[in-house]
């Protein structure tokens, strides 16, 4: 389907950012003229003065807010159809401008790290720096990793180039993948990312096998280019780790978000301990599905027939609003406002970026990209992305600009809370045994995909980066072998590990934001505990949860999460999530035996 065929009320309203492309061009020209060669003489070498430092921070905020809007507009228009060269050019232009302008601010952190500790601490406790105190604390903490002014400027100037690996992969994945046609309902249809998911969830055995083999075949055809792109991305991480004097790329990623390594250790330990339960679940799938052989392309097949929830987007959205009632009427009204006021781009169209996301900046409402299909999974995707959107909305509405942006570590929690609440609402409000079994199966699949699978991805990233850090080249053979061994460890002997699954790493876009994926796992771990508390305690727990949503990035993310009653420095939340998986599996078994 071409974008022109889609109804306007199913498209996002980018005119809320800029009225038209010409308005964007005017603002771009104004920002470029005003700031691309800015005179920083009044600030350089003078940041020990309180008023000068406040003015410098204020200038940074002002420039950032203007350029973020430029970026958002170009980024959304590019993603709605990556084939349009005009928006690819605009996206590239603003990326280059970001690097050029903020290279000029590169003197700030090195200068602040050289300040006397007593003076820096006096700024941190000064009420006039309330919007910047966490930023200053982070600067104080990062002294060992900040370079000289000249070196920081050089790294900033190179930022645009260093970010391009994700863009290259996006083009390979969306514009150059050349997916073939495949059989569906007796006809040959054009494959797409969205339809691939539909077939794996609902196609017959022959269709699943054909689509799986052809889909991975397209990636295998591009595997040399994808391998080099991913290897370059990892080498970029190793470069930054080395020049900034971090112990490892993982340590650099954790330190960058102010997350203690204990959280990562607790996650890996809990998942490894729970793999026998995962293997039990995989074997159960084979038994319940009545399969002589279970392949990797069978892993998404619902174990319960005639219970898939299928409905058009409008009805699905109403269901999401109803299912999130435990969060209160104000939250529900914000959801309605989002649909009414054009926050959401709903339909898949030719050239549109695959998947789903929420995006936005401080001075606009959030924007949500979907590729909605009438599947249960896509209904939950609506709940998921709106969780992201309203987290941003509440943070932006309750924090100053400098503290509004929460870290990626916190980004997957609100989205998953919405999914778990919706599932428990559906389970509670039906007497249909078949639907109950379906929902339990869906919940197990959610935990498998979001907790176990993302931890598998995280371990793959850790292996790949460790090899590169040790000077070992990353080749398609070494990467595929590492991934294949992990797949066998995670899924056990209840499934055939098809050879194509060794290439799964090659189609994961999140690998180009390194050490992102483990946060999905910590996100669902946290969400399970938060939902349990909300449903048990009601208003008091919701109040604490909203405090979490409204906290943005006001302090370290582990402390922010503690406001919602979850402490990931302990093993308790992880053990609770694993117990939830085990309990759901046992409940499913009991229903199957009735």
Closest CA to 331 of 450, 417, 404, 423: 417
Query: pTM of the predicted model, to two decimals?
Result: 0.82
Closest CA to 27 of 71, 60, 57: 71
By the 8 A CB rule, do 209 and 295 touch? Answer: yes
Give the phi and the psi of residue 279 in degrees, each rounded to 5.
-65, -40
Task: Indicate if 213 belongs to the active site.
Answer: no
Q: What is the pLDDT of residues 216-253, one digit of tens each?
A: 999 999 999 999 999 999 999 999 999 999 999 999 99
pLDDT recorded at residue 194 = 85
Mean pLDDT of 463-473: 96
Average pLDDT, the chain: 94
Highest mean pLDDT among 154-163, 365-374, 426-435: 365-374
For residues 20 and 4, what is the distance between their CA atoms, to the nearest angstrom? 17
Let me know: does 271 contact 451? Beta carbons within 8 Å.
Answer: yes
350-364 tens-digit pLDDT: 999 988 999 999 999
Band of pLDDT at residue 76, cut at 50, 70 and 90:
very high
Strands 181-184 and 187-190: antiparallel
- Give me the catalytic one of 385, 412, 419, 580: 385
Name the residue among 326, 402, 395 with its Cα closest to residue 365.
395
What percent of the chain clears pLDDT 90, i.e. is strictly above it?
84
Please determine, for residue 130, whether its predicted confidence score (pLDDT) is greater than 90: yes
**CA pair distance 386, 367, nearest whole angstrom:** 9
Is residue 144's pLDDT more than 80? no
Question: CB pairs under 8 A, 24+ apart, for 41-47?
Answer: 43/107, 43/108, 44/107, 44/111, 45/111, 47/108, 47/111, 47/112, 47/115
Mean pLDDT of 95-103: 92
Residue 152 banded pLDDT, cuts 50, 70, 90: confident
CA angle 379/501/578 to nearest 5° reads 55
Residues 6+ apart with CB under 8 A from 512: 165, 166, 169, 230, 233
């Amino acid at each position: 389907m071409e974008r022109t065929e889609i109804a306007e009320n199913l498209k996002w309203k980018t005119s809320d950012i800029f009225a038209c492309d010409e308005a964007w061009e005017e603002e771009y020209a104004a920002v470029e003229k005003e700031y691309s060669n800015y005179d920083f003489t009044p600030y350089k070498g003078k940041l020990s003065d309180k008023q000068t430092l406040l003015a410098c921070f204020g200038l940074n905020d002002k420039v950032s807010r203007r350029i973020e809007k430029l970026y958002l507009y170009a980024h959304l228009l590019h993603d709605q159809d990556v084939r349009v060269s005009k928006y690819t050019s605009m996206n590239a232009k603003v990326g280059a401008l970001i690097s050029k302008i903020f290279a000029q601010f590169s003197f700030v952190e090195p200068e602040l790290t050289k300040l006397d500790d007593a003076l820096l601490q006096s700024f941190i406790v000064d009420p006039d720096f309330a919007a910047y105190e966490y930023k200053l604390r982070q600067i104080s903490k990062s002294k060992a990793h900040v370079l000289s002014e000249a070196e920081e400027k050089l790294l900033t100037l190179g930022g645009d180039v260093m970010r391009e690996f994700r863009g290259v992969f996006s083009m390979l994945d969306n514009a150059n993948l050349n997916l073939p046609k495949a059989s569906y309902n007796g006809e040959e249809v054009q494959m797409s990312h969205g339809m691939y998911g539909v077939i794996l969830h609902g196609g017959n055995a022959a269709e699943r096998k054909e689509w799986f083999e052809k889909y991975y075949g397209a990636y295998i055809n591009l595997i040399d280019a994808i391998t080099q792109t991913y290897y370059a991305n990892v080498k970029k991480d190793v470069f930054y780790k080395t020049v900034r004097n971090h112990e490892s790329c993982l340590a650099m990623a954790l330190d960058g978000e102010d997350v203690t390594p204990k959280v990562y250790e607790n996650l890996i330990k809990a998942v490894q301990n729970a793999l026998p339960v995962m293997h039990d679940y995989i074997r159960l799938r084979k038994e319940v599905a009545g399969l002589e052989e279970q392949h990797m392309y069978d892993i998404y097949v619902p174990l319960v027939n005639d219970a898939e929830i299928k409905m058009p987007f409008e009805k699905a959205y109403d269901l999401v609003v109803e299912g999130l009632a435990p969060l209160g009427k104000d939250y529900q009204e914000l959801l309605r406002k989002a649909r009414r006021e054009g926050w959401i781009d709903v339909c898949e169209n030719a050239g549109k970026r695959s998947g789903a996301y929420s995006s936005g900046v401080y001075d606009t409402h959030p924007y949500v990209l979907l590729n909605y299909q009438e599947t249960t999974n896509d209904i939950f995707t609506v709940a998921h992305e709106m969780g992201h959107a309203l987290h941003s909305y509440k943070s932006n509405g309750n924090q100053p600009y400098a503290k509004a942006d929460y870290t990626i570590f916190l980004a997957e929690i609100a989205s998953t809370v919405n999914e778990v609440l919706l599932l428990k609402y559906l389970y509670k409000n039906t007497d249909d045994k078949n639907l109950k079994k379906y929902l339990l199966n869906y919940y197990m699949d959610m935990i498998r995909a979001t907790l176990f699978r993302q931890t598998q991805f995280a371990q793959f990233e850790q292996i790949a980066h460790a090899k590169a850090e040790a000077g070992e080249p990353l080749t398609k053979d070494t990467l595929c072998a590492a991934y294949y061994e992990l797949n066998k460890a995670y899924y056990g002997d209840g499934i055939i590990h098809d050879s194509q699954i060794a290439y799964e790493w090659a189609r994961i876009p999140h690998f180009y934001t390194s050490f992102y994926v483990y946060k999905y796992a910590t996100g669902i771990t946290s969400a399970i505990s938060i939902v349990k508390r909300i449903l048990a305690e009601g208003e008091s727990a919701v109040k604490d949860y909203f405090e979490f949503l409204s906290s943005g990035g006001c302090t370290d993310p582990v402390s922010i999460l503690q406001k919602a009653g979850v402490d990931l420095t302990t093993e308790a939340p992880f053990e609770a999530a694993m117990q939830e998986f085990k309990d759901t599996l046992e409940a499913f078994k009991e229903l199957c035996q009735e």
